[in-house]
Structure 1
Amino acid sequence: MPYLLGLIGACAAPNVQAQDASTNHLYGDVAISVQKRARPEFDPVHIRVGSFEGLASSEARIAWDDNIYATRNDRVHDALAVVSGSFSAHSTWSRHALSLDTDAALARGLSQTNEHTETYDARLGGRLDLGTRTRLSARASYSRAYEARGTIGDTTLRGPRIAYNALELGLEAEHTAGRLILGTQASLDSYRYAPYRTDSVQIGQGDRDYRTWSLGASAGYAVAPGVAAFVEGSYNQARYPDDTGTFDRSSSGWSLRGGLAFGVTRLIRGRAAVGYQDQRYDDTAFPHIKGLDFSAGLEWSPTRLMTWTIEARRSIQRSPLVGIAGIRQSRYGTRIDYEARRNLLMWGRLDRTVSEYAGTERRQSDLSGSLGADWLLRRNLRLAAQLGLQSTRSNGAGGREFDRRRMSVSLRYTL
């Protein structure tokens, strides 16, 4: 609920009109973030067409991976060449909003043809302002992507990458009444997995196709200057329309959380929530997944040259394995961004993910770290470099263990 930061900013003083310009943006000002801060002398100039602004860019990237298939033994290394392009446009109206974002990428492995991929993504969003207190928002996206090597969805091991198409639709409504803000959300997502070919045999992935819809509601209240309390809940249902297996992995579930959103000073802002989640499967062969639910994010800028971010989240993921319905996943991450020079941004990130496969002893732990730098050469030219390490360990039948190192260099040009 990012709108809560705006709410606590608006309620930070009894007389909002008496605040100066900097105070009005005390909690919603993304300039405190090193990565998002505006840099007029280096930021690309938008293309203006009527009441719309747009940006078009292209990027070339060379990457190297010392364990391209994420395996423990018989490691294979390879280099990847990636060419991508993107276009984004948004309205500049004083009321209402409309935006479009598209991108596409072509990747080729130097020696491993299994790494050849073509991806694309298109996202359309809009907002309708009904007076000054009520907003309606809608979003729609369609994409083609691939399961990343080493993730829970990567089931072919040394085989071809698994491709899927995703359609995601969403509606949101928000209403503000003084210190109180109410919201409701609805979404519908559909994922379809493409078959892949190995040893001249085509293997279907229809049993992985699923559709899910969810409804949610939230309420927030500014309890003190810079602090808002909120409660949020949701209900979801998931169905596998083409699953012909013995087990039915369809399910329904709900979650309820309460927490705080805060933006006490320009230096620190964030939100934290804790609650309970429950996912029940139609087939009694699968265990009921329930327990603690949490979500937190903290952004701290001790100086204008540094931003430290901490994130934590628990969720229930759908399993790609027919005999396992759900995976309880806990993610923890921290990142530091540093502005070494006005046009040189450096960053480091550390992440840990724990995946527990319900009904089995399998438990997978992923630890990854990365370092990177972005060099803003000109308004329309950016050079980036990145180095990453990953270590995965598992216990229980079917678990994966591997280590890998990755490096990449990219050059982005913006029209």
Structure 2
Amino acid sequence: MTGGASLGRNTRAVALGVAVLLGPCQAFAQRVQRDTSIEDLPRPGYEPRTIRAGSFVLMPQVEAGARLDNNILATQSNRRSDVIFLLNPSIEARQDSASAKFRAKAYGGLSRYARTSRENTTEFGASVDYSRAFGSRQSLGTLLSFDRTFERRSDPEAEFARNRRPALINVAAAELEYRYDGPRVGVTANVAATKLDYLPFEDADRDMVTYRASVKGQIRLSERISVFVQPYVARRNPRVKIDRTGVDRTATTYGGLAGVSLAFADRLRGDLGIGVFRSNPGDISLDAFTGIAANGRLTWRPRTRTAISMDVFRGDVATVRIGAIGRIDARSSIRIDQEARHNLILHGMLGLRDIHYRGDFDQDERYVTAEAGARYLLNRHVSVEAIANYSQRTTPDNFNEFRRWQGFLKLILIY
């Protein structure tokens, strides 16, 4: 991805925080090569410059802006609004050869509230991604990352008092992936581990290490259509085996997906798999659970400068909520990206999410999210972006419901 688009996506990914990293344990974090996004399409005269340092290409970037939030504490009553000032620097280094690719990224993120200073946060992180091809059909890749993030008040797992500062979290991840792309048969094997460390002492029993492994076997029926099967396993080991409610939250999830992959040139690409999972809790007093699993993403390009993306997911995911021994997520979303002019990019998104907790904390949470935004490139060095976002959570417990909207205005500086 280009420097001009990378930080925006990086900061949005980190803004999802723990929800992403605790999310689909069976999503196996595969580093699938996506089609070129609308933001990254060639735009003569607007290409960001790069810095050469020997064989490396460096791409520095800075985002500065403000966010207006009408419900910063994500509460149903006594809403509090504020303006948050943002500063997000980043740098990416690349090195490519005929058989190897290297990526290294580092970023920082400062959020400062105009009136509610206890909500101020500082984030940072770095990642290294290396892949190497062996011949024309085999490759091996590895990814290492570290993020200092925090628990958002709107996160499904958030459970802290209004007068308490957001909990800081260290997230470390490692991944190894092997790929074989034969003329008719393909195999992808992936192993990964994620360590979640809440820094506050009172949250020690929410710390967790998750291990994941999967093997995907694929057969090409034609140049455009393939079918696949993908068994997987995930193991969750909490740092404190018995949490403050007396429950052993150790668990192992087994599952498998079967589905189809489509590659109709640039028009329709992606894959969709459906299967089952079985979650086996470590606590002998708890029952195992079997459910439907689904995972997929399809992108339709009716025109070169238009992309419509659809995502679906359902499965058993990790949870650090006290009193819950499991969590089933069901998510779906649709997003439209459109280049209205060569230097004006628009997007819109609608997402639905249902979360069901199992255990002593047994309830459903439902989310609706809508977003619209525009990015205008002034030149190859400067662009501005405006985003409006609405989110809503409904629960059987009205105290945990909230509605809020946010408005973002950002200035993006690219070397």
TM bucket (normalised to shorter chain) is 0.7 to 0.9
Q: Distance in 2 between matches of 1:105 and 1:270?
A: 32
Is residue 2:173 matched to residue 1:172?
no
Question: In structure 2, what is the equivalent of residue 86 of structure 1?
Answer: 90
Is residue 2:117 matched to residue 1:113?
yes
Q: Which amino acid aligns with 1:186?
A: V
Q: Displacement of 1:398 after TM fit?
A: 8.0
Contact 1:214 1:237 in 2 (8 A): yes
Question: In structure 1, what is the equivalent of residue 371 of structure 2?
Answer: 370
Question: In structure 2, what is the equivalent of residue 75 of structure 1?
Answer: 79
Q: Distance in 2 between matches of 1:281 and 1:178?
A: 41
Deviations 1:84-126 (A, max 9, x none): 1001011121111211011111111111123210101100011
Question: In structure 2, what is the equivalent of residue 346 of structure 1?
Answer: 346
Of residues 183, 186, 193 in structure 2, which corresponds to 1:181?
Answer: 186
Deviations 1:350-390 (A, max 9, x none): 11110001145411100010110001111111100011111
| Aligned-partner SS, 2:86 | strand
Contact 2:206 2:239 in 1 (8 A): no
Q: Which amino acid aligns with 1:208?
A: R
Question: In structure 1, what is the equivalent of residue 387 of structure 2?
Answer: 386
Q: Distance in 2 between matches of 1:361 and 1:153?
A: 13
Contact 1:362 1:399 in 2 (8 A): no
Spell out the pairing of 1:325-364 with structure 2 (5 A cutoff).
Answer: 325-359=325-359, 361-364=362-365
Contact 2:241 2:250 in 1 (8 A): no
Question: In structure 2, what is the equivalent of residue 16 of structure 1?
Answer: none
Spell out the pairing of 1:10-409 with structure 2 (5 A cutoff).
Answer: 30-31=35-36, 33-158=37-162, 159-195=164-200, 204-245=202-243, 246-359=246-359, 361-395=362-396, 400-409=400-409
Deviations 1:302-355 (A, max 9, x none): 122321111111132222322111110111101111111110011111111100
Q: Distance in 1 between matches of 2:333 and 2:262?
A: 20
Q: Which amino acid aligns with 2:234?
A: N
Q: Displacement of 1:135 after TM fit?
A: 0.8
RMSD of aligned alpha carbons: 1.7
Question: Percentage identity across aligned positions?
Answer: 22
CA gap 1:371/1:179 in 2 versus in 1, 3 angstroms: same
Contact 2:87 2:110 in 1 (8 A): yes
Q: Distance in 2 between matches of 1:290 and 1:256?
A: 12
| Aligned-partner SS, 1:325 | strand
Q: Paired residues, what number?
A: 379
Contact 1:249 1:325 in 2 (8 A): yes
Q: Which amino acid aligns with 1:366?
A: Y
Structure with max Cα Rg: 1
Moved more, 74-83 or 125-134: 125-134
Contact 1:352 1:367 in 2 (8 A): yes
Q: Distance in 1 between matches of 2:317 and 2:208?
A: 12
| Aligned-partner SS, 1:205 | helix
Q: Distance in 2 between matches of 1:124 and 1:228?
A: 31
Q: Displacement of 1:50 after TM fit?
A: 2.4
Q: Displacement of 1:243 after TM fit?
A: 4.4
Q: Displacement of 1:265 after TM fit?
A: 3.4
Contact 2:99 2:134 in 1 (8 A): no
Q: Which amino acid aligns with 1:145?
A: T
Q: Distance in 2 between matches of 1:273 and 1:29?
A: 17
Q: Which stretches of structure 1, 4 residues or longer, exceed 4 Å deviation after superposition?
A: none
Q: Which amino acid aligns with 1:324?
A: A
Q: Distance in 2 between matches of 1:409 and 1:286?
A: 48
Q: Distance in 2 between matches of 1:30 and 1:320?
A: 34
| Aligned-partner SS, 1:204 | helix
Contact 1:232 1:258 in 2 (8 A): yes
Contact 2:211 2:235 in 1 (8 A): yes
Q: Which amino acid aligns with 2:231?
A: G
Q: Displacement of 1:399 after TM fit?
A: 6.3
Q: Distance in 2 between matches of 1:315 and 1:291?
A: 7
Question: In structure 2, what is the equivalent of residue 6 of structure 1?
Answer: none
| Aligned-partner SS, 2:205 | helix
Q: Which amino acid aligns with 2:113?
A: G
Q: Distance in 2 between matches of 1:219 and 1:318?
A: 26
User: What TM-score do the two structures reach when normalised by structure 1?
Assistant: 0.88
Q: Which amino acid aligns with 2:152?
A: A
